[in-house]
Amino acid sequence: MPPLRALFAIHLAAFLLGLVGLFGALSEATPLLITFGRALFAFICLWLFSHFRGKPSTALSKRQHGFLLLCGLLLALHWALFFYAVSIGGVAIAGLGFAAFPAFALLLESLLLRRRPGPLQWLALLLVSVGMLLVAPDFSLTNSSNIGLFWAALSALLFAVLSLLMRFNLEQIEPYRTTLSMTLVTWLCLLPFAAPLLPTLKAMNWLWLAVLGLLCTAFAHSLIASSLKRISASSVSVILALEAVYAIAAAWIFLHEQPSLSMLAGGSLIISASVLISRAGGTQKRRNS
């Protein structure tokens, strides 16, 4: 994939990921059913890809199988909490809460490697903290936006844990195979709880869940994996920070969730923090190489 096509692909992936909350809201399903449907359709798409790809895969160890199972369970919980945040606080609030994920990943990685964050990373953490305070309309625990922001931030924390587990334990496995295995675990573990509710879904519900699983999951993650072959991981992370921008815009245009000035200001700080963390991570890698 040429560099220009890779840049277009990663921007398209960020756009599609920014629409996750919108399609989840349009499906009008419960967080459980949205998570189940998203995982099911993503798995079907990735399984067909691996089937027609026809290339033999290397055998996985028991340890890798165990980590794939754990990551699949974390993915299910992460998605369910995110869509729960959407149902309570709205698409924009959930998107901004999830945008704090790089800050959580930085903190966890620093604790894991016993490495102190640098000045830029401390600045990024400060920006995220101030940004979260600006996004929250007040300090009331009964405000739906605050509750939605809390669950979205918890979802981001789980995704940070998931990302670090994948980085340190599943890095040698092909990205599509990792996603295929995790989506399989996700929809299988949710099947007993989702099965009694499936008859309540209408045709349009299924359509939005299919779009969510095929476009915003399987296709988007395939674009990210292919782009990483031509673009640095730090650059990809910076572009993916635009996901929150697309989420706010989509909620504003299609769901009439008009953001306040404080929300826009807070979102700008959180996105800026993501850029700083990505740049600081890229600098750290160059120093260590």
Per-residue pLDDT of 183-234, as tens digits, reads 999 999 999 999 999 999 999 999 999 999 999 999 998 888 778 777 766 6
- What angle (nearest 5°) sits at the alpha carbon of residue 180, between those of residues 244 and 69? 95
Query: How far is it, in rounded angstroms, from Cα 191 to Cα 181?
Result: 15
Q: How many CB atoms lie within 10 A of CB 61?
A: 9
Q: How many CB atoms lie within 10 A of CB 206?
A: 15
Of residues 145 and 137, the one with the higher pLDDT is 145
pLDDT band at 289 (very low <50, low <70, confident <90, very high): very low
Whole-number pLDDT of residue 241? 78
Greatest Cα pair distance in the chain: 56
Whole-number pLDDT of residue 283? 46
What string of H, E and C letters represents the secondary structure of 89-136?
Answer: HCHHHHHHHHCCHHHHHHHHHHHHHCCCCCHHHHHHHHHHHHHHHHHC
Please give the model's pTM, rounded to 2 decimal places: 0.88
Average pLDDT of span 112-135: 82
Two structure tokens written together for 26: 């349009």
Query: How far is it, in rounded angstroms, from Cα 25 to Cα 103?
Result: 26
Average pLDDT of span 80-108: 90
Whole-number pLDDT of residue 288? 43
Average pLDDT of span 154-175: 85
Residues 177, 181, 186, 191, CA torsion sign: positive
pLDDT band at 152 (very low <50, low <70, confident <90, very high): very high
pLDDT band at 30 (very low <50, low <70, confident <90, very high): very high
The answer for residues whose C-beta is within 8 angstroms of residue 219's C-beta and 6 or more apart is 16, 45
pLDDT tens per residue, range 230-283: 776 667 777 887 888 899 999 999 999 888 888 899 889 988 887 777 666 544
Residues 166, 101, 246, 151, CA torsion sign: positive
Task: Answer yes or no: is pLDDT of 120 > 90.
Answer: no
Location of structure tokens 């969730």: 257
Query: How far is it, in rounded angstroms, from Cα 258 to Cα 264?
Result: 10
Whole-number pLDDT of residue 41? 97
The rounded percent of the chain whose pLDDT value lies above 70 is: 91
- What angle (nearest 5°) sits at the alpha carbon of residue 242, between those of residues 80 and 27? 35
Selection from 34, 144, 26 nearest residue 79 by Cα: 34
Average pLDDT of span 74-90: 95
Cβ atoms of 220 and 16 within 8 Å: the answer is yes
Whole-number pLDDT of residue 286? 44
User: Measured between alpha carbons, how far is residue 17 from residues 21, 163, 217, 240 in Å?
Assistant: 8, 16, 8, 8
pLDDT band at 287 (very low <50, low <70, confident <90, very high): very low
Two structure tokens written together for 240: 């993916």
Task: Answer yes or no: is pLDDT of 181 > 70.
Answer: yes
User: Measured between alpha carbons, how far is residue 229 from residues 2, 4, 121, 179, 284 in Å?
Assistant: 10, 13, 26, 17, 20
Strand stretches in the chain, DSSP E:
none
Whole-number pLDDT of residue 154? 95
Query: How far is it, in rounded angstroms, from Cα 11 to Cα 61?
Result: 35
